[in-house]
């Protein structure tokens, strides 16, 4: 997604795009005014290129003045895409069930995901932030990762789990999710009463 304020140059010659792709604000120097500026533009004004260029320059500068930064806009776009079901109905349903602060955490990590960070590391970070108690264990013999969630299994924790897996887990790696007591490692934790055996 590219916005009019990105790589801004006062010499840009903006034009209003004649065909509109949903959720794309700018392609080259063509601007899809229906993304954010539909109330400002009307079909009658599209033909006046000089006026359109002037208004779009003004709007690009207003983004800076109003402190609408790249990450804030991207997070709003991601939220809109989730609410429209573009990430699937499971993600939409679970996201809407979460409190605003948890939604903000999800959106922050979705932005991190775009930076191509190693997905398992990112998954580890966000799961640590969203669950009170959790472990991620790699079972080398079966080449599988185990997400052990210590929180009580409820609709709320299941929604968080589903969002994490759908949005952040590397689909090339196998993951199993369990809700249980802490997992014990044989010969290290031998007090079986307080550990689950997996």
What is the C-alpha to C-alpha distance for residues 125 and 92, in angstroms, rounded to an integer? 22
The confidence score (pLDDT) of residue 93 equals: 94
Q: What is the pLDDT of residues 36-60, one digit of tens each?
A: 787 777 655 566 788 888 888 888 8
CB-CB contact of 147 with 177 (8 Å): yes
Token representation of residue 163: 């969002």
Q: pTM (2 decimals)?
A: 0.53
Specify the pairing of strand 144-149 against strand 174-179: parallel
Domain ranges of the chain: 15-66, 71-194
Is residue 98 within 8 Å of 111, Cβ to Cβ?
Answer: no
Q: What is the distance between the alpha carbons of residues 28 and 174, in angstroms, rounded to a whole number?
A: 40
Q: What residue ranges of the chain have pLDDT lower than 70?
A: 1, 22-23, 42-47, 65-70, 114-119, 181-198
Contacts of 174 by beta carbon, 8 Å cutoff, 6+ apart:
142, 143, 144, 145
What pLDDT was estimated at residue 95? Answer: 95
């Amino acid at each position: 997604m590219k916005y009019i304020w990105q790589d801004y140059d006062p010499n840009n010659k903006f034009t209003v795009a004649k065909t509109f792709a949903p959720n794309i604000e700018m392609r080259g120097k063509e601007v899809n005014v229906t993304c954010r500026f539909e109330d400002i533009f009307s079909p009658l004004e599209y033909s006046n290129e000089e006026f359109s260029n002037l208004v779009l320059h003004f709007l690009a500068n207003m983004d800076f003045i109003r402190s609408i930064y790249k990450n804030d806009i991207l997070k709003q776009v991601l939220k809109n895409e989730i609410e429209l079901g573009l990430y699937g109905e499971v993600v939409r349903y679970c996201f809407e069930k979460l409190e605003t602060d948890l939604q903000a955490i999800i959106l922050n990590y979705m932005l991190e995901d775009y930076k191509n960070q190693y997905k398992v590391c990112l998954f580890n970070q966000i799961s640590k932030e969203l669950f009170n108690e959790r472990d991620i264990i790699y079972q080398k013999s079966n080449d599988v990762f185990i997400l052990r969630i210590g929180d009580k299994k409820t609709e709320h924790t299941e929604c968080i789990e589903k969002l994490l897996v759908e949005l952040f887990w590397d689909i090339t790696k196998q993951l199993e999710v369990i809700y249980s007591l802490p997992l014990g490692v044989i010969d290290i934790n031998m007090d079986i009463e307080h550990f689950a055996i997996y």
